[in-house]
Amino acid sequence: MTDLTATRTASPTRAPSRKDRSEDDAITLRRREKRLAAIFLAPTVIGLGLFVVIPIIASVVLAFFRWDVISSPKWAGLDNFNSLFTDPTLRSAFVNTIFFVVATVILQLSVALGLAVLVQSRMPRWLQSTLRSVFFFPIILSAASVSIIMSYLFNQQFGLVNTYLHDLGFGSIPWFTNGFSAQVMIILIYVWQNFGFTFLLFLGGLAGIPRDVYEASAIDGAKGWRQFVHITLPLLSPTTLVASVMAIISALQIFDQPYVITQGGPGNSTETVVMVIYQDAFGQLQFGTASAIGVLLTIVIMLVTALQFRLSRRFVYYS
Amino acid sequence: MTDITRRAALGVAGLGALAALTAGFPRLSGLDIPGRHGNELRVALNGTQQQAAQQAALVKTFEAEHPDIKVVMIPIQATDWGQFFAKILTMVAAGTPPDVVNVATEGAQLFANKLAEPLDSYVQRPADRAAMQDYFSDVHPSLIESFMFKGSLYQLPSNFNAANIFLSNAALHKAGHDYPPDDWTKDDFLAMLRAIKKTSPGAVPFYWTNRMWGGVTPWLYINNTSILHETKSPAGAAEKWLWNGFYRGVAAARGRSGGPLWLHAQATIDPVEETFELLREMVRDGLSSSPASGGGGALVPQFASGRVATTTAGGYWVDGLHQAGVKNDQYDVQFMPKWKSQSHQFGASGWSMMRSSPRKEQAWAWLKFCSTRRGMFLSAPTPTTTPCRRSLCAAKVEIDGVTHPYYAAEGPKHWRVFYETLDRFPGTGPFTAPPSEPAIELALDKNTINAVTGNSRQLRAALRSLQGDLTRALETTS
């Protein structure tokens, strides 16, 4: 703007040339575009700032204080972080969470990929779209509602499942009252509810693989399993990377299912890191410690994601 | 058909968004939070909008008596008291705390420790002395003591529930048993369960829920023990104005304290292990269900259908069973059986005045009104709980010259058990609820399942784990 004004005042009598006019137009257009871009971006930036950036900064700051909501925060230095390393509950919650992540991610990716390949294979169009809806359906349900219904269905004493099993001559199975079976059940319920999104990602990825690659490989004698291993899997690797990053991040934050169904029990067998954060904050009124665990979990998630992207250089095939 | 340009469409969309923003401004800016900018008395209770609406008669009568006070009832939906208090704390953090909160035993000490205003000076006001004397004369001292913390009174309890044994008459008769005597023992109870198991193969002889109220705790109490070591605060000034004042000459008030204190965990001591062992054996022998999480509500249909023969429940169950179609003569209620003692556990609730409230006088007016016979009756006109006033725990209740059927309309034959639990057993008291109660309850729930569903070795390991969890919970809030 300054340059333009300077040019105009330096030669007030000279009529603007066609070049000058087109430069003016270009500058005006760029300004308008910038303004428009700012207007369109503003809601997202404001939203992100208010609901993501500020809370993140606040929780990092809070991690260095002792605060119970009721009294004023008191400076705690690194005490909140130091206490994490001696807390056996948090240690077992991390172990449980890692177990959940490994199991759910492997299951979720395998089930989603298997079903995506199945749906993509030769079958009537109406059946394809029906199956797509059916597999995606659980993800739109509320996790809390699903958990409540599951806890009723699998109630050891009066649950529908045990009632039928009893009629078939089986004993009463302690689905949620035995540490290991409770872990398995939480994993299965979580995977059942969440694989739909990964399934859609894989469907998209499969649709993007050119048919001629399969045709060429068929001419060379490759079929079925070999095509899957040598064509589908490598060409699907970018999708697999995205799906696995999202699945891991989501599984590291598992909360609803164990909170509603088992409250972390029996013992500490289904207690996860986010449950400890909730319990420390709202059960013990230790918002500083809870924030410190939150910071730690965020660092873990960032490290795992960074590691995945680093490994992807070796395993992901982009061209 | 008229063409709509992109610019026109964007303009219309923009105008629409602006209109929506204007319409939603009170919500977005929090202007519509009840009582935030007005001078209403904000009263929070644990319940649904429907339950808040059920208090309409109470609010209406209060407002008629106090035309200068407008009450806004704020229902807070929560699955348990821990979640309720978490939501109240969120309101505190947001700068919109209520003036009065309905607080149960679970949160009594948490509130007393951090949020509630002590009522000592209020109840001693000369102008209110007669009303308070009427209240204390009608309420058992153990209920009052349960809401005292470090020598001060923080609530005027309005209702309570002691854990009694509910019995299905059909299952009992089928097993050849009659209604048990008041002084029945743990062994009598076990014999009854064995008989029920034999004669009603499809039914669960004894069902219990895994939670603080009504879970393991009643069994610990009749075995004269607890997972936390209980001491008492000195009564201090309350000795004079309360126990030797309002309760002068009342035998049950003699030796009462300034409130219970739970400072140390003792989950691994022998009596505690012995109690868990009893429950483990009951589960192992099929006399009892494997404990499931949850409240008593889900159990009503099971008891109503005869699939559950006996269970621990309190006066709050009467209306629930009535609503489920259970006739008064289909079930009955009896004290917990005697083991080393017959002390019961109870949970109570009442209204608590928030320390932060700028409307303390109005809040006190509400507390006082709710402690009157009329107020207490209006808050629970049917047996959805056990009223703290003895005179309301009756077959028929007379309020303002009108006689209302209470237990005469719905309730088991031996409904007197509900209040007599306090009179008959001096050791009866609140369940263990220090300021860190949510963490204590969670620790108990998580470890109980392991303790009672495995072998003796697993039981001891679970108790060690419980001891660790309890110790940490007590340390972090001490």
In degrees and rounded to multiples of 5, residue A171 shows phi and psi of: -80, 175
| pLDDT of A7 above 50 | no
Cβ separation A158–B472 shorter than 8 A? no
Which of the two residues, B159 and B295, has the higher pLDDT score? B159
User: Which of these, A60, A85, A65, lies nearest to A75 by C-alpha position?
Assistant: A65
- Tell whether A285 is within 8 A of chain B (Cβ): yes
pLDDT at B359 over 60: yes
pLDDT for the residue numbered A2? 43
Q: Looking at residue B392, what DSSP letter applies?
A: G
The better pLDDT of the pair B333, B201 is held by B333
Chain B residues inside the 8 Å CB shell of A284: 436, 438-439, 473, 476-477
Q: Which residue has the higher pLDDT, B126 or B50?
A: B126
Which residue does chain B place closest to A285, by CA atoms?
A: B477
Q: Under an 8 A CB cutoff, do B449 and A286 touch? A: no
- Position A1 scores a pLDDT of 41
Residue labelled with tokens 């009564």: B235
Q: What residue segments make up the domains of chain A, in order of their start?
A: 14-62, 81-314
Of A158, A177, A282, the CB nearest to B449: A177
Q: What pLDDT sits at residue B32?
A: 67
Could you tell me how far CA B312 lies from the centroid of its own chain? 14
pLDDT digits (tens, 9 = 90+) for B81-133: 777 888 888 888 888 889 999 999 999 998 998 889 999 999 999 999 999 99
Q: Give the pLDDT confidence score for residue B223 in this predicted structure.
A: 97
Interface membership of A250 toward B (CB under 8 Å): no
Q: Are B108 and B146 in contact (CB under 8 A)?
A: yes
B1 pLDDT band, cuts 50/70/90, is: low
Residue contact B472–A89, C-beta within 8 A: yes
Nearest to A70 among B115, B307, B465 (CB): B115
Q: Is the pLDDT of residue B393 over 60?
A: yes
- Residue B398: strand pairing partners: B403
Confirm or reject contact between A140 and chain B (CB < 8 A): no
Direct distance between the N- and C-terminal alpha carbons of chain B, in angstroms, rounded to an integer: 75
| Rounded Cα gap, residues B267 and B384, in angstroms | 33
pLDDT of residue B73 exceeding 70: yes
Position A317 confidence tier, pLDDT thresholds 50, 70, 90: confident
How far apart (Å, rounded) are the C-alpha atoms in residues B438 and B156? Answer: 22
What is the pLDDT, as a whole number, of residue B240? 96
A264:B82 CB<8 A? no
Distance from CA of B194 to the nearest CA of A (A): 18
Res. B302 pLDDT band, cuts 50 70 90: confident
- pLDDT at residue B102 in the model: 94
Cα torsion for A177, A183, A186, A189, to the nearest 10°?
-110
Neighbours of B39 (CB within 10 A): 11
Choose from A87, A161, A177, A291 for mutation: most chain B CBs within 10 A: A177
DSSP 8-state code for residue B310: E
What is the rounded average pLDDT of the residues A229-241?
93
The alpha-carbon gap from A157 to the nearest alpha carbon of chain B, in Å, equals 7
Residue A11 pLDDT greater than 80, yes or no: no
Residue A193: its pLDDT value, please? 95
Quick check: B289 contacting A, CB < 8 Å? yes
Least-confidence region, from A13-17, A255-259, B189-193, B430-434: A13-17
**Nearest-angstrom CA–CA distance, B359 and B432:** 32
Amino acid B407: pLDDT: 94
One-letter amino acid identity for A218? A
* Cβ contact, residue pair A285, B477, below 8 Å: yes
Residue of A nearest to B79 (CA): A260
Q: Collect all residues with Cβ–Cβ distance below 8 Å to B368 and sequence separation of at least 6.
A: B128, B131, B156
Chain centroid, CA B426 distance in Å:
20
Q: Which of A10-14, A269-273, B36-40, B111-115 has the lowest mean pLDDT?
A: A10-14
Tally of residues, chain B: 478
What tokens does B61 get?
Answer: 């009568």
Mean pLDDT across B298-323 = 89
d(CA B82, CA B442): 9
Digit-coded pLDDT (tens) for A187-210: 999 999 999 999 999 999 999 999
* Predicted confidence (pLDDT) per residue in B16-33, tens digit: 989 988 888 877 776 666
Domain A81-314 class, CATH top level: mainly alpha
Backbone angles phi, psi at B4, to 5 degrees: -105, 120
Measured distance CA(B257)–CA(A116) in Å, rounded: 68
- Predicted confidence band at A4 (pLDDT cuts at 50, 70, 90)? very low
- Proportion of chain A above pLDDT 70, given as a percent: 95
**pLDDT of residue B292 exceeding 70:** no
Q: Are residues B90 and B44 in contact, defined by beta-carbon separation less than 8 angstroms?
A: no
d(CA A133, CA A126): 11
Neighboring chain B residues of A263 at a CB cutoff of 8 Å = 293, 442, 445-446
pLDDT in tens, A47-104: 999 999 999 999 999 999 999 887 889 999 999 999 898 888 899 999 999 999 999 9
CB pair distance less than 8 Å for B449 and A265:
yes
State chain A's mean pLDDT as an integer: 89
For the residues A248-263, what does the mean pLDDT come to?
Answer: 93
Q: Does residue B35 register a pLDDT over 90?
A: no
For residue A84, give how far its alpha carbon lies from the nearest alpha carbon of chain B (Å). Answer: 13
pLDDT of residue A312: 87
* Comparison of pLDDT for B323 and A317, the residue scoring more: B323
Name the token pair of A113: 């990929």
Q: What is the pLDDT of residue B297?
A: 62
Inter-chain CB proximity B438 and A271 less than 8 Å: no
The burial class, CB within 10 Å (0-12 / 13-18 / 19+), for B70 is: middle
Give the C-alpha separation, B85 to B113, whole Å.
13
Residue B473: alpha-carbon gap to chain centroid: 21
Instruction: Inform me whether the C-beta atom of residue A288 falls under 8 Å from chain B C-beta atoms.
Output: no
Q: How many residue pairs bridge chain A and chain B with CB atoms within 8 Å of each other?
A: 86
The pLDDT of residue B376 is 97
User: What mean pLDDT is reported for chain B?
Assistant: 92
Instruction: Please name the residues in contact with A155: beta carbons below 8 A apart, sequence gap of 6 or more.
Output: A162, A175, A176, B292
Contacts of A262 in chain B (CB under 8 A): 293
pTM for this model (two decimals): 0.84
What count of other Cβ atoms lies within 10 Å of the Cβ of residue A131? 16
pLDDT at B6: 87
Q: How many whole angstroms separate alpha carbon B308 and alpha carbon A98? A: 40
**Average of pLDDT values for B47-70?**
92
Rg, C-alpha atoms of chain A: 28
Please answer yes or no on whether A177 and B462 come within 8 Å at the CB atom. no
Q: What is the pLDDT of residues B418-475, one digit of tens each?
A: 999 999 999 999 999 999 898 899 899 989 988 998 899 999 999 999 999 999 899 8
| CB-facing half-sphere around the CA of A181: CA atoms within 13 A | 11
Phi–psi pair at A63, nearest 5 degrees: -65, -15
Determine the Cα–Cα distance for residues B215 and B451; give it in Å rounded to an integer: 13
Average pLDDT over residues B174-199: 96
The interface residues of chain B toward chain A in range 103-122, judged by CB-CB distance below 8 A, are 114-115
For residue B39, what are its two tokens?
Answer: 């001078």
Count of residues making up chain A = 319
Q: Given CB atoms, is B80 within the 8 Å cutoff of chain A?
A: no
Summarised one tens digit per residue, pLDDT across range B156-183 is 999 999 999 999 999 999 999 999 999 9
What is residue A5's predicted lDDT score, i.e. its pLDDT? 46
Nearest CA among B382, B403, B406, B383 for reference residue B394: B406
pLDDT, tens digit, for every residue of B206-263?
999 888 998 999 999 999 999 999 999 999 999 999 999 999 999 999 999 999 999 9
Nearest to A203 by CA among A115, A279, A312: A115
pLDDT band at A8 (very low <50, low <70, confident <90, very high): very low
